[in-house]
């Protein structure tokens, strides 16, 4: 109430008397607009006011951090049919939940108990599990300084109250659409070291662990979770968010990268290369290689020599 009143150039007076209660007076300036006209709007109140969104967006997980029940209900009613929504009532709980579920987007109020939205945003952007997650701040503060403070903490977008569900829907859709376009581009790549995504500290650490343990029989998802200090959900959603690939797809890509390098730089036979890349069955290695390169490992090596 205080933020919205200040935004409207109003004031709040508070008078309290023992055993009699508290009296609040809100004063707002009167603005004379001159002649006005009623313009009829043909709006279907029963239809969802959110922009058309693909049913695939139900796979997106959004974390809503909002202490006001009425505001949270308003937001959830507009988004529940399109996204998986998790809600927390303060920044401290929101921070814990974000690390647990690794959502695709965090929507947070600014003024909250325990931990405010600015602090939450900074902590989210500083944590290796959540630093990639887009962060949308909701606030009644419309001044430039407040926006700059939010952006300085790492917020990706800023929406000023009051807003309608259609406006919120478009902001969310645009954020997720941009994220999806980037992932579609990334997922078509191999693992080039010069690509910025594969220089992300999390992916670099994971890649180093995989490279060092390719020939170890225990190299599986559980092994990687233990080595990275994550749960299976955290590992999968982090890798998916950064690369567009599943954990298994990323590991396979790294194995194939090594196979390609060994074919180019050594005289090892195909079985030896298969073992060096963590495959105990050369026949299965051959199958995976053909699927990726559309030719056998022997044919690939021959093409390199003829080039």
pTM: 0.72
Q: Tell me, what's the pLDDT at 193?
A: 45
> Which among 158, 241, 98, 126 is positioned nearest to 87, based on CA atoms?
98
Tokens standing for 164? 């309608």
Domains parsed from the chain with CATH numbers: 1-30 (no CATH), 55-185 (3.40.50.2300), 197-306 (1.10.10.60)
> Which contacts qualify for 261-265: CB closer than 8 Å, 24 or more apart?
263/297, 263/300, 263/301, 263/304, 264/301, 264/304
Q: Tell me, what's the pLDDT at 78?
A: 85
Q: Which stretches of the chain drop beneath a pLDDT of 70?
A: 1-9, 29-57, 142-144, 146-147, 150, 186-199, 217
Q: Tell me, what's the pLDDT at 40?
A: 40
Q: Tell me, what's the pLDDT at 235?
A: 95
> Which among 156, 159, 164 is positioned nearest to 132, based on CA atoms?
156
* 3-class DSSP string for the chain: CHHHHHHCCCEEEEEEECCCEEEEEEECCCCCCCCCCCCCCCCCCCCCCCCCCCHHHHHCEEEEECCCHHHHHHHHHHHCCCCEEEEECCHHHHHHHHHHHCCCEEEEECCCCCCCHHHHHHHHHHCCCCCCCCEEEEECCCCHHHHHHHHHCCCCEEEECCCCHHHHHHHHHHHHHHHHHHHHHHHCCCCCCCCCHHHCHHHHHHHHHHHHCCCCCCCCHHHHHHHHCCCHHHHHHHHHHHHCCCHHHHHHHHHHHHHHHHHHHCCCCHHHHHHHCCCCCHHHHHHHHHHHHCCCHHHHHHHHHHC
Q: Tell me, what's the pLDDT at 217?
A: 67
Q: Tell me, what's the pLDDT at 35?
A: 42
Q: Tell me, what's the pLDDT at 145?
A: 72
Q: Tell me, what's the pLDDT at 163?
A: 85
């Amino acid at each position: 109430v205080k933020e919205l009143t200040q935004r409207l150039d109003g004031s709040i007076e508070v008078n309290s008397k023992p055993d009699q209660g508290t009296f609040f007076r809100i004063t707002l300036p009167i603005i004379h607009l001159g002649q006005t006209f009623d313009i009829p709007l043909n709006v279907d109140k029963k239809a969802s006011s959110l922009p058309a969104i693909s049913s695939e967006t139900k796979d997106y997980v959004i974390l809503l951090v909002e202490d006001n029940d009425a505001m949270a209900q308003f937001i959830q009613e507009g988004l529940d049919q399109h996204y998986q929504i998790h809600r927390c009532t303060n920044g401290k709980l929101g921070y814990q939940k974000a690390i647990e579920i690794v959502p695709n987007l965090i929507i947070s109020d600014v003024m909250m108990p325990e931990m405010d939205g600015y602090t939450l945003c900074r902590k989210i952007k500083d944590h290796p599990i959540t630093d990639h997650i887009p962060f949308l701040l909701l606030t009644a503060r419309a001044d430039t300084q407040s926006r700059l403070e939010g952006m300085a903490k790492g917020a990706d977008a800023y929406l000023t109250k009051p807003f309608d569900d259609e406006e919120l829907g478009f902001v969310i859709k645009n954020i997720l659409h941009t994220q999806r376009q980037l992932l579609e581009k990334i997922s078509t790549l191999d693992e080039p070291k010069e690509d910025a995504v594969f220089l992300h500290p999390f992916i670099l650490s994971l890649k180093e662990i995989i490279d060092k343990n390719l020939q170890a029989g225990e190299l599986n998802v559980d092994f990687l979770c233990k080595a990275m200090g994550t749960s299976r959900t955290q590992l999968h959603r982090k890798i998916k968010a950064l690369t567009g690939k599943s954990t298994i797809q990323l590991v396979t890509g790294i194995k194939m990268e090594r196979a390609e390098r060994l074919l180019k730089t050594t005289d090892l036979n195909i079985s030896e290369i298969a073992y060096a890349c963590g495959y105990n069955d050369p026949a299965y290695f051959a199958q995976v290689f053909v699927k990726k390169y559309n030719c056998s490992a022997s044919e690939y090596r021959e093409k390199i020599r003829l080039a």
